Chain A
């Protein structure tokens, strides 16, 4: 019977981690729905980006208030994981504070965790205030209505509960308090429990300990259903991000082939094309998530809906419907929908008469983009909403000929006279003599 705690712990841990792994597999499956794109070149620069942008948070501090507070929560999260490691070892092997053999170093470690826990609580309080009291525009705009708004608050509540449990657990740990090393904060919490009996204090300590680790496992599993996946995906996302200068849009290879054929004076337009039985007729641009590439889909899972993109978007600032954040959220929602469809149909996607275009993202949003790259510049984890907008415009124009009238006129001009306006190409040098 004495092992019942350890067995229970092992079972909870296995279920918690197992369920998470199952969802991670689903996530990878969904990302792989995307088209292939090679992002393995130049690995040294990719590692550097990951170290600077994800690990080093270099783009976060562009907005200093949220940037610095975020670093506190981030450092708190990363460092407190050491504590979680101790909890797991204690839980599995029935030890108590197994790392305490480190002596004064242990005190320093736990002491710094306690300080961080308090700082995290302060930061989370400010975050909550910004969302719910100050109501910053980027946290209250309509693209967050409903679940996303609730999701953001739930994550903050989670952090409050986890940090509080950590401090209570330390405050009610009699041995830890007696050792009087590292209880920098918890020594002031511990008197709150002085009216309790020794047994009751032990019950509080055990309860806090169990709730803390269970809470962490629940939070881990909440990630997949929330916007909070960025704590994991920011790393691969910054690694696989486009390394080209932002002005360079990709050239569609399928188009290059056709254009070359058209321009080749030796090509026989009437010759039968060699038939490849397996060839899927190429589709230009994207109308659904399967047409996007896997990095764009990874982007969608990584987005934590901070809204820096939308708040810097010239179209959004002037009241247009376009919100780059919504482009990412829609892409993820549709990807989840397609994923569920595949799960429900034994691994095959059954067409559902819906698509990312129109059912989620409207042409009006797409046409409002100035391609200014402000959203890409702003994103703290190098997501590119612009690349999705461009691919969807390509579908509208090349597959559906559904550009706004005035753009069609512009394109006709380029085709006919080599300029977006109706001027004769032969007049191109007239300015010289005017």
Chain B
């Protein structure tokens, strides 16, 4: 990639005596997973374009502990949480944005009792606020009229009742938002949550991601939009298994916005 992206760290900010507007929590998938890294970069490009003064923790960031907690390992979760809280509090973090609904849910709902009280927002909400306040504008009709269906991540939707921000963004692209038969509060899981991402499924007659991909393909979409790196993986695998990868793309909302901006 030729263009330069600007990704300051909290440590660098502190050295300059500055406090960023928002701390971008990248998450493990966003840091290490090849597919999710593209989402991370797309989001950073938008932040750069909108002149948002943000910073990441970089090598000081560690797993929020979500998969450990869902697997039942409360010890490991709380250890991770308390270490992260120490770092975040040391930087006096106030506002955190993340592109991962699992990190989002854990930071927002489970950290406060352990001493980590922050305003936590999902990147779709943050992007929407950038558009609403005019800090970011979407030009051109790259997605105009395209059929896009949105898969609700469980930890954004049912877990935190956020259904509209990602949909509003799709509509701002002038795209045709098509809903699956099961959506919003009735949305079907992609199969990755509850630490399933890291283990084989129990014996059954189908994989959950195939069941969900079938829901999505029924809407005859050109793009399946996601708002979670794990959902993204599951749906991408599902589309491949259905041999539809030539016709249907799985993209994060941040990538849609970044593409619309030609970033």
Interface residues of A, Cβ cutoff 8 Å to B: 244-249, 251-252, 255-256, 258-260, 262-263, 284-285, 312, 314-315, 317-322, 364, 367-374, 376-377, 390, 392-398, 403-404, 406-407, 409-411, 414-415, 418-421, 423, 425-432, 434
Contact = CB atoms under 8 A, between A and B. Distances in A.
Given A370-B192, A404-B199, A410-B71, A245 B205 contact: no
Interface of B: 1, 5, 7, 9, 26, 28, 30-32, 37, 40-41, 56, 58-59, 61-63, 65, 67-76, 78-80, 82-83, 105, 108-110, 113-114, 154-155, 158-161, 185-186, 188-189, 191-208, 210-212
A425 B60 CA distance: 8
A370 B194 contact: yes
Contacts of A414: 63, 65, 67-68, 76, 80
A262 B79 contact: yes
Contacts of A428: 26, 31-32, 58-59, 61
A295 B71 CA distance: 22
B154 A373 contact: yes
Contacts of A406: 198-200
Nearest to A432: B7
Contact of A372 (B193, B201, B206): B193
Contacts of B69: 249
Nearest to B154: A372
B70 A372 contact: no
Contacts of B197: 420
B242 to A, nearest CB: 15
B83 to A, nearest CB: 8
A255 B74 contact: yes
**Central interface residue in A409, A414, A429, by most chain B CB within 10 Å:** A414
Given A252-B74, A411-B73, A318 B207 contact: yes
A419 B28 contact: yes
A361 B167 CA distance: 39
A398 B37 contact: no
A407 B71 CA distance: 8
B59 A407 contact: no
B151 to A, nearest CB: 12
B65 to A, nearest CB: 7
B206 A370 contact: no
B114 to A, nearest CB: 6
Contacts of B28: 418-421
A313 to B, nearest CB: 9
Given A260-B82, A370-B189, A420 B31 contact: no
B195 A429 contact: no
A427 B185 CA distance: 37
Given A372-B194, A410-B195, A414-B65, A421 B32 contact: yes
13 contacts: A246-B158, A247-B108, A247-B155, A377-B185, A393-B71, A397-B71, A403-B73, A407-B199, A414-B67, A418-B62, A420-B67, A426-B59, A434-B37
